[in-house]
Structure 1
Amino acid sequence: MTNNSYPLVSVAIITYNQKEYLRECIESILLQNYPNLQIVVADDCSSDGTQDLLLRYSQQYPNVFTLKLSEKNLGITANSNLAHFACRGKYIFWMGGDDLMLPGKIAKQVEYMENNPDCTLCYHNLDVFDSATKKNLYYFNHLKKQKINGTIREIIRFRTFNGACSTVVRKDKTPKEGFNELIPVASDWLYWVDTLANGGNIKYIDEVLGKYRRHDNNITKKTKCLSQADIDHLNTCNIIIGKYPQYISEALYAYAEILFHLRKKLDYKKIVCFSLGANFRIRKAIALGVFLLSFGIIKV
């Protein structure tokens, strides 16, 4: 079977100062039993030698690598768009520069997508491990309620139950504008929503096919103060309500869940007021929905 018998797959890697992890990430992709790959790496002006490492890989595999090496720092979402628009494959697999693929991941997900044309987004379980000890901390989708199949309604209501590095999407379903740069950091949730707005379903493969590394520099690490990612998630709810009003109940449910999990953050009340800074109708709808969905626990 020739390479042309396999649909082209684009693996999009987003990286910034991750040289110590990036080689392992890339090697886990190159070792996949899938012959028709484009590896797109968008580096956001790293200062640790990441770009030199990438140039060496590109020289070694000139027909595989597509590099987008920024000369100034753009931020996570803008950097992600560099990768998004460089992808040529039928399918796009998303990775951070510190994530790992396990053997057979690409072939298994592509086979599933090819056999299920109604599937727009496919994801799987992840081994979440400690970077220093290499020991498993937990599995990303360890609870039954996190193993979700569905449509755009589920991705809005339950947010990022799919780990980004477990996810593959059909390129022809992705938003023409790419990632929404109004959301500077945690823009993947809205990207999944916009992708599923173009049709198709979400499918879960109940296998561990990748590894997510936990270390001090993770964007998603827990803090006692509100992070930019927290603000992004709240603002994403506002964008969804304005853009997809037919899913307002799902967005309000997500909004209430976010606020509930943020209730112990120090500047909680301030961020609630900030996140409600939409137009009057949306603000009133969100306030009422949050109050009702939280059974009056959340006062807005």
Structure 2
Amino acid sequence: MPATLNDASLPLVSIGIVTYNQKDFLRECIESTLAQDYPHLEIVVADDGSKDGTHEMLRDYQARYPGKFVLRLAERNQGITANSNAAHFACTGKYIAWMGGDDLLLPGKIRRQVEFMEAHPDCTLCYHNLDVFQSDTDQTLFLFNARFHPEGDVRTAIRHGTFNGACSTMVRRDKTPARGFNPAIPMASDWLYWVETLHHGGSVRYLDEVLGRYRRHGGNVTASGQHRLAQTHVDHLSSCQYILALDIDYLDDVMHAYSQKLLALRQHAHFAKFAWYSFVLSPSLKGAVRLLLYYISLGKIRK
């Protein structure tokens, strides 16, 4: 990068953090942002009406680091999309790096992504690998993008969905949707946000480095988490309609994505029906074998 890391002319990066009742995890999250070696940061935290002392903790951080924190503290819970928009519209940086209140940044993450995006002005969205770890043991479970880390353009994002972990993603703010996250999508509005961002031009690029940690804990893997997963698939089906409205030329990519979302729903509803709908929309040998095995085994094999 042509400028030095302590040069105030470096582009401002907004770290957008969305959180709800995660006080203890959030403290670790914030400390990981403060430990970054990139000097030109604003830390934007949107809290969705937490009742665990989060607001008091955040105001304390704001007092200790004047000018560093931008807080959006809701008095009542409004849902993840509204909370994400509270953060989105508070960001003023050239780049936005997104994360949840229970995620962690590893040293050098912001610097590495800024270096890459400044060197590649065609890059609209940059993501990297993540260490997915068990919270209570700190044990690594797997690497988020160990097997799959596509690059491309908006069509790549449409066809393959959210292959980028949210806390690995940095975007150019001037490419993001004017409305932010679509308020019509109640929970899983991030995929549409990435697609609409890339619809404004540029590429999605991957850094083959582990620069963040995604935490697995009771709050995101319980039965209620399974309900949220099902709602995520429903939201993605709704998102397909909005994506098609962007450009009819995306039809083939949207149909492929729609078929995959229907296929994902087979674990939460009638297996054969959703597997069949998926096959009709996007025929494949794998889909045909899936249906054949289901019927031959009298419903015992569901893959």
Q: Normalising by structure 2, report the TM-score.
A: 0.87
Distance 1:19 1:12, change over 3 A: same
Q: Deviations over 1:123-154 (max 9, x none)?
A: 000000001111000000010xx111100010
Q: Tell me what 1:114 maps to.
A: 118
CA contact (8 A) 2:11 2:94 kept: yes
Q: Tell me what 2:173 maps to.
A: 171
How far off is 1:243 after superposition?
2.7
Q: Tell me what 1:153 maps to.
A: 155
Q: Does 1:33 align with 2:25?
A: no
For structure 2, the residue ranges without an aligned partner over 5 or more in a row are: 292-303
Between the aligned partners of 2:271 and 2:238, the Cα distance in structure 1 is: 14
Q: Tell me what 1:20 maps to.
A: 24
**RMSD of aligned residue pairs (Cα, Å):** 2.6
- What is the SS of the residue equivalent to 2:8? helix
2:192 to 190, 193, 196: 190
Between the aligned partners of 1:194 and 1:44, the Cα distance in structure 2 is: 24
CA contact (8 A) 2:46 2:87 kept: yes
How do 1:151-300 and structure 2 match up within 5 A? Answer: 151-218=153-220, 223=226, 227-266=230-269, 289-290=281-282
Whichever residue aligns with residue 91 of structure 2, its letter is C
Q: Deviations over 1:236-261 (max 9, x none)?
A: 11221233321111111111122223
Distance 1:50 1:226, change over 3 A: closer
Q: Deviations over 1:92-114 (max 9, x none)?
A: 00010000000000000000000
The total of aligned residue pairs comes to 286
Between the aligned partners of 1:117 and 1:239, the Cα distance in structure 2 is: 27
Q: Does 1:124 align with 2:116?
A: no
253-262 vs 9-18, greater mean Cα deviation: 253-262
Between the aligned partners of 1:153 and 1:164, the Cα distance in structure 2 is: 18
Between the aligned partners of 1:187 and 1:246, the Cα distance in structure 2 is: 22
Between the aligned partners of 2:29 and 2:77, the Cα distance in structure 1 is: 22
Distance 1:53 1:267, change over 3 A: farther
Between the aligned partners of 2:205 and 2:221, the Cα distance in structure 1 is: 26
Distance 1:135 1:20, change over 3 A: same
Q: Does 1:92 align with 2:96?
A: yes
Between the aligned partners of 1:130 and 1:292, the Cα distance in structure 2 is: 36
Q: Normalising by structure 1, report the TM-score.
A: 0.88
Q: Tell me what 2:297 maps to.
A: none
- What is the SS of the residue equivalent to 2:220? coil
Q: Deviations over 1:50-106 (max 9, x none)?
A: 111101001111211000000111100011001001000000000100000000000
CA contact (8 A) 2:279 2:287 kept: no
- What is the SS of the residue equivalent to 1:5? coil
CA contact (8 A) 2:230 2:265 kept: no
1:134 to 113, 135, 138: 138
CA contact (8 A) 1:226 1:267 kept: no
Between the aligned partners of 1:183 and 1:292, the Cα distance in structure 2 is: 30
Q: Does 1:56 align with 2:56?
A: no
Between the aligned partners of 1:226 and 1:179, the Cα distance in structure 2 is: 19
Whichever residue aligns with residue 243 of structure 2, its letter is I
- What is the SS of the residue equivalent to 2:171? strand
- What is the SS of the residue equivalent to 1:184? coil
Between the aligned partners of 2:168 and 2:18, the Cα distance in structure 1 is: 14
CA contact (8 A) 1:231 1:271 kept: no
Between the aligned partners of 1:160 and 1:203, the Cα distance in structure 2 is: 14
Distance 1:217 1:268, change over 3 A: farther
